[in-house]
């Protein structure tokens, strides 16, 4: 599906999330610990900034055209909370249950597919060209800010390493 260029970066991030979801869905006892670590690294580096951009930029822009309690807005927010909770549970648990990774993979897959097939087309239809342009600029700024923040953290960690 052709995506508006302004929100295409989010769709490209969704593609990466689908790859992660697929790996989680195939987890076995032998690779569960490794997949947990890979997911948590992806979650911190990619999912948290992605969710933030959707929650702080995309959904408010969309909510100018629909009721903020629109079922699609509510569903996305609830699913974000659930995915945050699952990531926290995964980080806190000592043992890694492949079934929990499978469930997480399914949830992540279904969430991304819903946004791509339902939410994003509605957003593209609701926003006019100028609103999409402004949204695209705001998303680009948010991505730059997130990259700069990640680089700062990496530098601090490197300086504090023995």
75-130: pLDDT as tens digits: 999 999 999 999 999 988 778 999 999 999 999 999 999 999 999 999 999 999 99
Q: Are 73 and 66 in contact (CB under 8 A)?
A: yes
Q: Are 17 and 47 in contact (CB under 8 A)?
A: yes
Residue 13: left (phi > 0), alpha (psi -120 to 50), or beta? alpha
pLDDT at 1 over 70: no
Predicted TM-score (pTM) of this structure: 0.89
Nearest to 79 by CA among 144, 136, 21: 21
Read off the pLDDT band of 162 (50, 70, 90).
low
| DSSP for residue 128 | -
pLDDT at 153 over 90: no
pLDDT at 140 over 80: yes
């Amino acid at each position: 599906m052709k995506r508006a260029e302004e929100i295409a970066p989010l769709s490209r991030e969704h593609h990466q999330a689908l790859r992660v979801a697929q790996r989680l869905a195939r987890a076995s006892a032998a690779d569960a610990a490794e997949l947990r670590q890979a997911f948590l690294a992806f979650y911190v580096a990619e999912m948290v900034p992605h969710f933030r951009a959707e929650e702080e930029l995309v959904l408010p822009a969309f909510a100018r055209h629909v009721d903020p309690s629109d079922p699609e807005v509510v569903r996305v927010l609830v699913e974000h909370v659930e995915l945050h909770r699952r990531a926290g549970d995964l980080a806190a648990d000592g043992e890694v249950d492949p079934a929990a990774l499978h469930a997480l993979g399914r949830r992540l897959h279904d969430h991304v597919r819903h946004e791509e097939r339902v939410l994003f087309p509605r957003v593209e239809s609701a926003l006019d060209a100028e609103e999409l342009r402004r949204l695209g600029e705001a998303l680009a700024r948010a991505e730059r800010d997130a990259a700069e923040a990640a680089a700062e953290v990496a530098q601090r960690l490197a300086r504090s390493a023995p």
